[in-house]
Amino acid sequence: MTEQEKITPNPDGRTDTLDRVMRYAVQKGGVKSNQIEPAETRWGSLVERFTQMQAGPRAANPEAVPALIYAEFKEGATRHDANVIAMTALVLDIDKDADLDRTRAALAGIECAIYTTKRSTPTAPRLRVILPLAAPVPARDWPGMYRQFAAALALPGLDACAEKLSQPFLAPPGNGYFERLAGEWLDPAPYLAAARQADYDALPVPEAVGQQLPPVPLLDMQLIPAPLRGWIADVAHRMQCPVDYCAVGALVALAGVVGAAIGIRPKRKDDWLVVPNLWGGVIGPPSKKKTPALSDMLKALGRLEMAAADGSQQAKASAADPETKIKQKLLKRELEAAIKAEREEQRAQAAADAYIEAKGNQAPSRQRRLSEPPRAAAVIKLELSALTAPPTGTLQARFRTNDATIEALHDLLSENPRGILVFRDELVGLLKGWEKQGHEQDRAFYLEAWNGHGSFPLDRIGRGHVICDNMCVSILGGTQPDKVRGYLYQARQENDGLLQRFQLLVYPDTAPYAGMVDEYPDAAARDTAFAIFDALGRADFAALAETDRYSKIPHLRFDDAGQAIFTAWYDELHLNQIEAPDAAPLLVEYLSKQPKTFAALALLFHLIDRATAIGQGQPPGPVSASAAGRAQGWCGYLEAHARRIFALGQTLQSQAAGELARRIAAGALDGQETFTARDIYRKQWSLLDDTEIVAEALNELTEAGWLLRDAQAASWQMRGHVRYRVNPKVRRP
């Protein structure tokens, strides 16, 4: 910069446009160099210098004429669009159809400098116009502002290169025309407003995003058996949780009590057997009382286990009683004598038979008995076993466990023939635990236990050979929607039908908190429900139900009306749902397992209805039509929940996009002009804690018009990275 261009204070404070300061940069090292030197000068000094340059002789080497970039750059930056902070002057390059008079007329009243360029000739004039700006224009607004001003001028032959942020322009080359038009510096404000409005109008209109989960019906209270209805409704009211949580917990708990003690053959003639063990759970947001509600339902099992422990203690106390021990000793002596007498009788009979065979039909004389014969050995054995036998209606020792290895669970099943219920506070954690290293056999074990009546021999060093006749396991737990989403997303490539076996898995809508409920429990309703558990837990179904040589488990069948309901439902399920051409694979696999659910629920409902009679030793009879109808209602209710649950994984991308859209609309990104996918991932928002899902959500929002994608380079040496900005129409209609 020369001494002439240096800014000196203006003592009289004049506001002449020639005294205003303008910033620019000088290109160093030739037109192909990216090295620049920032500078600033008074507009008047720049005009005077340009006048002298154009009035002088033409430069021998036009490329050596200084090239100016009318922009403010970042400190220490190179010539690159990404380094421009703001533009300080607008340049018009009129390369075609240049007309000086027309240009003057178009720019009347605006401060500017006009000169001919190095390639200008008398027959093909070329003009360059420098218009200093009254206010710098931010780099992001420059293209739109430039286009709006050029359109307003309507001058032909404008070169679009002047729109570029870091475009250099040669100073006057000499021996040409130069003119300054006095006026006001160009005010960019109206053109910026017009450009922003034009850009806004050109933006896409944001579309609705975020696929909604399918709706689910409210649980009809009539589907809950009457003896359990009051208890379930009372707990749900006091817990302030959906009644669905308690209903599912109660049914799975009851399935854990009945287990493999009795089954049902759903077909009239076929020997297909269903054991009423159930896998179920509840899905809901945090702090919605999932675990407390389920734990309250499991108190019925705790009472049964306590009663079983009391019965065991009574049997042990009876066996330890001195009188009992004396009676045992006497009975053992009597049994020994009876066994000896029976053997002597057998030998005597054999000798008599041999005598008759030797002597013909002459029978040997029999000796007179000196005393009464002893009692039969079988009668004595019954009396001996009755001394230490557990009380009538004995309960098995265990009905539930919270955390057990498959070896420990196998031992529990071998000692508790009805089966066991596994309760886990975090259901997805249980499923993921089966996939950990060293637990490869856990998944296969549980899949086998789902049937409820398989045999599973287990051989382990130190444990020996343990046989479990009834592999009957029920499962109950709770989890959160996000955990199910993640599990379904990770398992989408390897689907072995595990989650589809959770037939009683529900995801109901939850109501907002409405204030604490502090009321006494409904003791009468609870006692009624617990009596059902007790009666079915003590029932000797082997003596009350049909058995045959093909199955060790007693079983029932439907009555005629119940069989008609099941058959019609079964046919409709396969014809119209499972074989539907547009049915989702996950749902088809779920529905293909519903016949067991129908049969198991129908059996449980029938046993509940007949619990009092069963407790009095009466046969339960065939499964009724009312129980079958209630099971059919439950299957429809559960199918709706299955559609919602499987949609968690199928629409994960859309749901993540919807979650991000909701946060954008709420202003979560208002402080960031642009952002990257990594910025979103680092926030660890719900559904947006996986890099792949974040990328898919950003793509969907971009396609839906919520986001605008801008690929920029981090620097001229680094490869580009994608940045996003929010569409202004998201916040303004």
Token pair of 115, please? 């000169």
pLDDT (tens digit per residue) in 450-490: 888 766 655 554 554 556 667 899 999 999 988 888 788 77
Mark 441-455 as b/e (b = at least 16 C-beta within 10 Å). ebbebbeebbbbbee
Bridge partner residues of 459 (DSSP): 465
CB 196 within 8 A of CB 126: no
Residue type present at position 291: T
The DSSP call for residue 105 is H
Dihedral pair phi/psi, residue 547, rounded to 5°: -135, 160
Token pair of 410, please? 């196998």
| Distance between CA atoms of residues 257 and 401, nearest Å | 13
Sequence-separated (6 or more) residues with CB below 8 Å from residue 181: 104, 107, 108, 110, 111, 112, 113, 114
DSSP string computed for 290-317:
HHHHHHHHTHHHHHHHHHHHHHHHHHHH
Can you give the pLDDT at residue 411?
A: 82
Can you give the pLDDT at residue 4?
A: 37
The DSSP call for residue 622 is S
End-to-end CA distance of the chain: 50
Third-level CATH fold of 226-313+394-650? Rossmann fold (3.40.50)
Can you give the pLDDT at residue 338?
A: 76
Can you give the pLDDT at residue 153?
A: 92
pLDDT, averaged per 10 consecutive residues of the chain (733 residues), comes to 40 65 89 88 94 90 86 93 94 91 94 92 92 95 93 90 92 93 95 91 85 88 96 95 96 95 94 94 91 93 85 55 70 76 78 72 54 68 64 75 82 86 89 76 83 66 57 92 81 70 94 90 95 93 84 92 97 91 85 95 97 92 96 96 86 81 87 86 85 88 88 46 86 64
CB 528 within 8 A of CB 231: yes
Using DSSP's 3-state secondary structure scheme, residue 547 falls into: strand
| Distance between CA atoms of residues 672 and 663, nearest Å | 13
Q: Which of 309, 724, 688, 662 is nearest to 489 (CA)?
A: 688
Can you give the pLDDT at residue 612?
A: 93
CA 292 to mean position of chain CA atoms: 22
Bridge-based pairing of strands 473-479 and 127-138 is: unpaired
- Rg of the chain (C-alpha set): 45
CATH match for 652-730 among 3.40.1640.10, 3.40.50.1100, 1.10.10.10, 3.30.2320.50 = 1.10.10.10
Tell whether pTM > 0.85.
Answer: no
The H or E element that residue 334 is part of is helix 322-359
Dihedral pair phi/psi, residue 598, rounded to 5°: -55, -55
Can you give the pLDDT at residue 591?
A: 93
Token pair of 641, please? 């929940």
Can you give the pLDDT at residue 2?
A: 42
3-state SS string over 156-196? CCECHHHHCCCCCEECCCCCCCEEEECCECECCHHHHHHHH
pLDDT (tens digit per residue) in 533-585: 999 999 999 888 888 777 788 999 999 999 999 999 999 999 999 888 887 88
**For the chain, what percentages of helix, strand and coil (3-state, to nearest 5) are there?**
50, 15, 35
Token pair of 230, please? 């009051």
DSSP string computed for 580-615:
-TT--HHHHHHHHTHHHHHHHHHHHHHHHHTHHHHH
Give how far Cα 499 sits from Cα of 253, 304, 326, Å.
19, 30, 58
Can you give the pLDDT at residue 492?
A: 63
Can you give the pLDDT at residue 496?
A: 62
Bridge partner residues of 703 (DSSP): none
| Distance between CA atoms of residues 242 and 250, nearest Å | 13
